[in-house]
């Protein structure tokens, strides 16, 4: 079953680079995932059918509010993994978050 992961940052730009690295790892591992990036202002229109939301470190302040708004797993991406654009680590974090919620 396809898993859907949404990365959110202030403008959606920096997470786009990370998404591409995550997609590359997913292809290499033959994982059935859809990974997208968006700006904070678009979360409402993109949240349907999303299995997890990962926030850029600059969005950590919004994590608790988003958790109150949406009944899906949400966490902030580790600052080091984000800065290093570690697609494999962030993908693994998202998949573990989804696994724990089931």
Q: Is the pLDDT of residue 54 over 80?
A: yes
- Digit-coded pLDDT (tens) for 69-94: 999 999 999 999 999 999 999 999 99
Residue of 9, 52, 54, 59 marked catalytic = 9
Proportion of the chain above pLDDT 90, given as a percent:
87
pTM for this entry: 0.94
* Active site annotation includes 75: no
Kindly state the tokens that stand for 101: 């919620």
For the chain, list the domains and their CATH numbers.
Answer: 3-101 (3.40.50.2300)
If pLDDT is split at 50, 70 and 90, which confidence band does 12 have?
Answer: low
Kindly state the tokens that stand for 78: 């580790």
Q: How far is CA 3 from the centre of its chain?
A: 11
Residues composing the chain: 102
Proportion of the chain above pLDDT 70, given as a percent:
98
């Amino acid at each position: 079953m396809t898993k859907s992961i949404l990365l959110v940052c202030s403008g959606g730009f920096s997470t786009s680079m990370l998404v591409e690295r995550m997609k590359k790892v997913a292809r290499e591992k033959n994982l059935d995932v859809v990974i997208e990036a968006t700006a904070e202002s678009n979360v409402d229109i993109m949240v349907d059918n999303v299995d997890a939301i990962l926030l850029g470190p600059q969005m950590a302040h919004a994590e608790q509010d988003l958790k109150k708004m949406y009944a899906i797993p949400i966490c902030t991406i580790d600052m080091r993994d984000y800065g290093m654009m570690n697609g494999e680590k962030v993908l693994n974090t998202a998949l573990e978050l989804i696994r724990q919620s089931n």
